[in-house]
């Protein structure tokens, strides 16, 4: 599936030659993390890193996105590679010499490594531009952490950036993981990550004195009953072979010990791996909450905010990643995941439009005790092995070469 063994050998040397750049860009971004859709420092750092390459660079209009297009020497298909750029609103506690210099903000999910790997892949591929028949679109995306950044970029014409006949034939993304051994790849065909929807319920009753509940209409017992009833609905209405998670994680009611409040508020998340189960659970949440409130003499206002769709890996694209990563990194460093993960990813928006795949890249520091689980992604103490980025650059470049190098 790879063009030839000589290409693999040359690729390793080219990736090694840019590794210091990869690390330097990653550390720059790590020191200056930004949250959400507006990432001016990150955008400028990406543009600067690409400035000397033969790329057409396009900046987002509504968000701080960067799209860079590398055109090969000959016509051919288009391949899209994605790296997300945003950080998380949390305080870093790693002790790294290049730790965040922004209070309350940290690259705790490794998106700084994603950006650095994608920029270096662009550099490697630009050096082999004369071999390419087609185009590579490098998608530097803000707002993955719940802000729907990929959807904004699609709405701004990401997939038509190279013209109506140049829509990508494939799209790929890597996501680093602090718990997978460094430089290893994990993926699976089909559903990889869940759809994620937010549930908000406001139960409304009548306030009163806590010593006389018969003179009030207490929303707290109704809200408490809803938590249990929703779990029962999950286990009794969803097929036991169909994964689904419903967690109420936020409950607010009342202000003091002797006042029955007017309202109680519930908030949580719903995770599903198919649109059918997603629709079923949405209906169940409305039904259970409204009828449970009614049984207590209260009313319920139910809102379900749509989050990211299911991230579905195209089977052929996943097989291509598996084969190429095995060729480039070693067959023993690539494995198929037994089950999906109930986290969510907005690369799902791209995969709904273009066949492709997302894979996990191991970033667990090798010096850690293998018997101890390290701090995971989204931990304030998470640390990634920077040498793993060389594997990510190589896989990104290999995927583009595989699609675009014609014998």
Contact 328, 132 (CB under 8 A): no
How far apart CA 384 and CA 374 sit, in angstroms, is 10
Q: Give SS3 for 345.
A: coil
Whole-angstrom CA distances from 132 to 38, 209, 402, 403, 404 are 33, 75, 10, 9, 5
**144 among known catalytic residues:** no
Smallest CA-to-CA distance from 173 within 79, 32, 44 is with 79
Contact 254, 220 (CB under 8 A): yes
| Residue with the two structure tokens 């949580």 | 268
Kindly tell me the burial class for residue 186, based on how many C-beta atoms sit within 10 Å of its own C-beta (0-12, 13-18, 19 or more).
buried
Q: How many residues in total does the chain contain?
A: 407
**308 among known catalytic residues:** yes
Catalytic one of 152, 172, 308, 396: 308
Catalytic one of 131, 169, 262, 386: 386
Pair of tokens at residue 101: 């210099």
Q: Give SS3 for 166.
A: coil
Pair of tokens at residue 198: 């937010």
Whole-angstrom CA distances from 36 to 13, 25, 173, 347, 379 are 36, 20, 19, 15, 18
Q: Which residues contact 169 (CB under 8 A, 6 or more apart)?
A: 77, 78, 79, 354, 355, 403
Q: Mind telling me the catalytic residues?
A: 308, 386
């Amino acid at each position: 599936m790879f063009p030839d063994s000589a290409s693999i050998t040359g690729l390793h040397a080219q990736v090694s030659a840019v590794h210091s750049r990869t690390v330097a860009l990653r550390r720059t971004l790590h020191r200056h993390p930004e949250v959400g859709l507006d990432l001016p420092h990150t955008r400028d750092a990406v543009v600067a890193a690409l400035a000397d390459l033969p790329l057409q660079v396009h900046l987002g209009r509504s968000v701080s996105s960067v799209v860079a297009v590398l055109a090969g020497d000959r016509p051919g298909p288009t391949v899209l590679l994605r790296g997300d750029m945003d950080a998380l609103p949390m305080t870093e506690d790693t002790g790294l010499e290049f730790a965040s210099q922004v209070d309350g903000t940290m690259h705790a999910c490794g998106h700084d490594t994603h950006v650095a790997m994608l920029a270096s892949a662009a550099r490697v591929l630009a050096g082999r531009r004369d071999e390419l028949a087609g185009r590579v679109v490098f998608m530097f995306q803000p707002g993955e952490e719940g802000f729907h950044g990929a959807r904004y970029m699609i709405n701004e014409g990401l997939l038509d950036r190279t013209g109506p006949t140049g829509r990508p034939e494939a799209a790929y993304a890597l996501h680093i993981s602090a718990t997978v051994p460094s430089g290893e790849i994990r993926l699976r065909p089909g559903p990889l990550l869940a759809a994620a929807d937010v549930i908000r319920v406001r139960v409304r009753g009548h306030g009163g004195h806590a010593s006389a509940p018969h003179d009030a209409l207490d929303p707290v017992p109704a809200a408490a009953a809803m938590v249990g009833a929703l779990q029962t609905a999950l286990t009794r209405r969803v097929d036991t072979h169909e994964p689904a998670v419903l967690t109420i994680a936020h409950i607010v009611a009342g202000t003091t010990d002797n006042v029955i409040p007017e309202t109680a508020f519930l908030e949580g998340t719903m995770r599903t791996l198919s649109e059918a189960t997603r629709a079923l659970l949405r209906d169940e949440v409305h039904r259970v909450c409204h009828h449970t409130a009614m049984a207590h003499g209260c009313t319920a206002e139910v809102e379900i905010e749509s989050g990211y769709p299911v991230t579905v890996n195209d089977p052929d694209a996943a097989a291509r990643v598996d084969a190429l990563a095995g060729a480039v990194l070693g067959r023993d460093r690539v494995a198929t995941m037994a089950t999906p993960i109930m986290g969510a990813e907005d690369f799902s928006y791209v995969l709904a439009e273009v066949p492709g795949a997302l894979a996990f890249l191991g970033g667990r520091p090798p010096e850690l005790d293998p018997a101890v689980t390290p701090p995971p992604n989204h931990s304030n103490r998470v640390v990634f092995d920077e040498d793993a980025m060389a594997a990510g650059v190589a896989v990104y470049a290999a995927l583009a070469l595989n699609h675009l190098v014609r014998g």
